[in-house]
Structure formats: structure tokens, C-alpha cells
Amino acid sequence: MLDQRLLRENPELITEQLGRRGMSVDLTGLQLIAKQERDLEEQRSNLQAEGNRIGKEVGALIKGGAAPGSPEVMELREKGNRIKQQVAVLEEEEKNLQVKLREQLMTFPNLPLAETPEGKTEADNVEVKRWGEPRTEGELEEHWQIAERLGLFETERSVRIAQSRFITLMGQGARLERALINFMLDLHTGKGYREVMPPILVNTASLTGSGQLPKFAEESFRCAEDDLWLTPTAEVPITSLHRDEVIPADQLPLRYVSYTPCFRREAGSYGRDTRGLIRLHQFNKVELYWFCHPDQSAAAHEQLTVDAEAVLEALELPYRRLELCTGDIGFSAARTYDLEVWLPGAGSFREISSCSTCGDFQARRSAIRFKEGKSTQLLHTLNGSGLAIGRTMAALLENGQQVDGSVKLPAALAPYVGSDTIAAQ
């Protein structure tokens, strides 16, 4: 959420930075609400101070010998009661304005960092790194063709169980998925991340705090009779792991890794990637998450991204790192690196991880602060996939396919699968 103080003191900066995202905004109405709220706060504070002064005066009179029911004392008490009533009215008006202001500020995305490159669409993203040598020989199968031939998943039966865009992993496919989850968790915990397995049902406050609501309500699955939603990513519950908390500065950074199933409606994406593992309503993901000191967030963003890249390198999967432009970064992000893995069967790079620094955007929405000496301030949050499991499996199948129809697995993963090859059974 954007800082209300920034709205009052430097609205031009908000307009300028949202303009870099391709948004044209008029903040006049919000500024008026913010001014009204500040004026009410000042009136209330002055009245409360006057009420406190009267209370002390009454106490002094009684201590000096005046009877509690004397005209002088009663007149002051009546005046104090009138002030209390006025304060109550102002508090209610102030609260209503605060709610209105917060609701409108919640709809604005984060401001991009100065380092985020200018651009309007994904075509303006900047490639900053490549790793590995992509396979480019012809006649390579796509992952869904390999999986169907080897019996790794069921598509038609999954529609019978649920609906389209769901998949049932079978046999070696299920084993490979489980192996990838364990491999990634072991790799990241070995780097010092603390493993978390949070609830996958989250409440509205959790989705709001991470920035998913109110904007992306149509993308999420909601339980009709409860204030609960199926989590779209472990970023949501982990953000709320420390909601409304003050963390001692010497405990930062806090680094978490979490495996969760994730659920997304993928609204507006129908007709794209309808076969295989790329775009599903339910998928597994290992998420990396940092709570850090603001002074550490730039270095933390680089380290988080390197930790996600380490999975691809250990699995011998060629990839590239892109820096997203201002028009393509996510709602809560201030700066983002996307990792795209090479899929030789499809002949293209596909996103497999998005690593973002959110500044204090999520921390403000979730009231997460840190204390350093006598000072208490908002911390910074960062998140990134480490990695999306289904897309990793797709990349392994396409990059490891052999002329005999089998799939060769990387050496780092073989102990988790119990074999270095997946073949027809």
C-alpha cells in the first residue's frame, strides 16, 4: 500500500511513478480525503487535550477542598462530558475517512524503483544473463507428448474428477514431482532458509496484506461459506506469518522456504497452453521469501534470484534472466527479475520463476515492522519461486529426452528419483 504521508506531501511523485507503469491517475479526490482526515485528527487531538486539562482542573479543585457536587465542579464536568461527546463524533468521522482512504489506496500498485527499466509490455523487458547451452536440434517432442507416451499423467480422467486445467500425475510422473519438491527444499534449507509448511486456505486479510486483494479476486478460488480462499502462492501465507508484528532488527533477515499447492483461475488465459503442465488451475511450487532491513533489500534481491537460479543450474537446465520493465512488473513489486527456462520441444523460453522486491509495500498493508534501538519502522519483503514444480518437470522432460524415447535425469536429481532415467514401463 502506498504511504499516506507521500500522498499528502509529494503526490506528484506518485503520479509520475504510476505513469511509468502506464497508469494515468488523478489524486485530487484522495488528497482531499487525506486533508479532511488530518484536519479531523487535529481537531480531535485539541479537544482531547482540552478534556484532559479540564479533568486535571476538577481533580485540583476537589483536592483543594471543593465538594464533588459543587456548581463549579459540576460545570467543569458537564463541559468535559460535552467534549467527550464531540471527540466520539470526530473519532467516528475520522475512522470512516481512514477506511475510505485505505480502500482507495489499496487499489494502487507499488511504485517502481528507479532501477526498473522503462517499458510498456513484456517486449520491453531486458535480458541481463544467460546460462547453459540450449538444445536446438529438430524433431524434439514437447513435454506433454513425452509425458503422455511414458504414462506420466492423466488429462482426460482429471477432467472427470474436476474440470479442464487440472492434471493427475501417475507412476513415475508422481514420483518425479515429489522428488523435485524434496530436492528444492533440501537445496534451499542447505543455504540457510527455514522451511515452512503453512495453511493453504488463507483468509481475506492475508490476501489483502500480500497485495492479491482487492485487485485479483477474480483470479482466486474462494470457499463460499467461509472467509477463506485457496492460496494462489505461498507468498500469501508467509507474508501474514508476521502480520501485525514488530521484529527485533538483530533477527533480520528472516528467510523462509515453503512448498505449497497453489490455485489460480487463470482468468483470461483460455486458449493458451491448454496441454500439459504450463498453465494449470492447481500446481505445486516451492517459494522463497525474505523479511529484511531496508538497507539490505537490494542485496537481498540479488541473492534471492541467485538462489532460484541455483536450482536450474543444479538441474542442468539452460535459462535466461530478464529484468522486467515498468509496464510488466507485478502489482506488489517494485523491481522484478524473471527466470525463463529453455524448452527445446517448444523452441522457446518460458517463465519458471519471478523474483521481486516489494519494498515496504506489503509490510505497510500487513503492519510488519522492525525495531532498531528506539526506532520502529516498516521492513522490506521479497519473494521468488524456487521453483514452479510443473514447469520444472516440463523442462526436464524436454531437455532430457533421448533418441530411444527415454528421459535422462540430471545427476543431482537422480538420488531423489531413485534412477537417472525415466523410460516406458
165 is catalytic: no
Q: CA 316 to CA 309: how far, in whole Å?
A: 11
Alpha helix positions (H), 10-124: 11-20, 28-63, 71-105
Q: Residue 45's closest CA among 20, 104, 400, 53? A: 53
Whether the CB-CB separation of 273 and 283 falls below 8 Å is answered with no
Please report, for residues 33, 35, 95, 389, 390, the alpha-carbon distance to residue 47 in angstroms, rounded to integers and kept in the order given.
21, 18, 17, 59, 61
Q: Residue 101's closest CA among 214, 2, 216, 215? A: 2
Instruction: For residue 126, give the H/E element and its range.
Output: strand 126-131
Catalytic-labelled residue, pool 350, 351, 406, 419 = 351
Give, as one character, the DSSP assignment of residue 409. P
354 is catalytic: yes
Catalytic-labelled residue, pool 158, 220, 297, 354 = 354
264 is catalytic: yes
Phi, psi of 388 (to 5 degrees): -70, 125
Q: Residue 129's closest CA among 361, 339, 393? A: 339
Q: What is the torsion angle, in degrees rounded to the nearest 10, for the CA atoms of residue 122, residue 128, residue 132 and residue 134?
A: 30
Q: CA 303 to CA 190: how far, in whole Å?
A: 14
261-280: burial string, b at 16+ Cβ within 10 Å, e else: ebbbbeeeeeeebeebbbbb
- Grouping H, G, I as helix, E, B as strand and the rest as coil, residue 160 is helix
349-377: burial string, b at 16+ Cβ within 10 Å, e else: bbebbbbbbbbbbbbbbbebbbeeeeeee
Catalytic-labelled residue, pool 264, 364, 365, 369 = 264
Tell me which residue has cell 509520475: 16
Please report, for residues 15, 21, 41, 50, 358, the alpha-carbon distance to residue 110 in angstroms, rounded to integers and kept in the order given.
12, 10, 27, 40, 7
Catalytic-labelled residue, pool 8, 279, 320, 350 = 279
Q: CA 31 to CA 38: how far, in whole Å?
A: 10
351 is catalytic: yes
Catalytic residues: 264, 279, 351, 354, 391
